[in-house]
Structure 1
Amino acid sequence: MTPMPEADIATLSYEESRDELIRVVGELEQGNATLERSLALWERGEALARRCEEWLIGAKARLDAARAGIEADAEEGDR
């Protein structure tokens, strides 16, 4: 696995980030990597986890906005 530069993580979808994070964790769990490789994988994993979190926070914000819109529409309909 040749990792993408960290700057490219910002272009990944949630699914791409999650899948790569799973691969990174798997490689770390095997315990066969050198210390240098393990540190690089750890840093990559942290960046991928942040990217996944950004996607999830964004999705929650969109759901909250949609719910607020539905509730506002329902309140107007009750008037």
Structure 2
Amino acid sequence: MTDAANDIAGLSFEEALKQLETIVRELEQGNVPLERSIDMYERGDALRKHCDTLLKSAEAKVEKIQLGQNGEASGTEALDPQ
């Protein structure tokens, strides 16, 4: 993995989303040089994929919540996000 991919893999959902929002805002302003825009777009795409993976993992965990006899959540089953 590249340093950028390692950097992104270690981010929480909130951190990755904040970086992605910053990239989108800068690109929308339209005053970024072309080469930098391409780099930013590539990082933004990697951040989007990371956020999507984290969201899918969280959704799967929510679906695995087991309800106890009294109707309350009794626990979750951990899932491998891969």
Query: What TM-score bracket applies, with the shorter chain setting the length?
Result: 0.7 to 0.9
User: How much has 1:59 moved relative to structure 2?
Assistant: 0.5
2:8 pairs with 1:9: yes
2:53 pairs with 1:54: yes
2:75 counterpart residue number: none
User: How much has 1:5 moved relative to structure 2?
Assistant: 2.1
Q: Which runs of 5+ in 1 are unaligned?
A: 75-79
Q: 5 Å matches for 1:33-52?
A: 33-52=32-51
* Identical positions, percent: 42
Which of the pair is proportionally richer in helix? 1
Give TM-score, length-normalised by structure 1.
Answer: 0.78
Give TM-score, length-normalised by structure 2.
Answer: 0.76
Give CA-to-partner distance per residue, 1:14-67, whole Å, 9 cap, x none: 00000000000011001111110000010010000001101100100100101x
- Larger Cα-atom Rg: 1
Amino acid at match of 2:44: G
User: Whole-Å Cα distance in 1 between the matches of residues 35 and 7 of structure 2?
Assistant: 21
User: Whole-Å Cα distance in 1 between the matches of residues 38 and 44 of structure 2?
Assistant: 10
Amino acid at match of 1:50: K
Which of the pair is proportionally richer in strand? 2
Q: Which runs of 5+ in 2 are unaligned?
A: 70-82
Point out 4+ residue stretches in structure 1 off by more than 3 angstroms: none
User: Whole-Å Cα distance in 1 between the matches of residues 5 and 25 of structure 2?
Assistant: 19
1:77 counterpart residue number: none
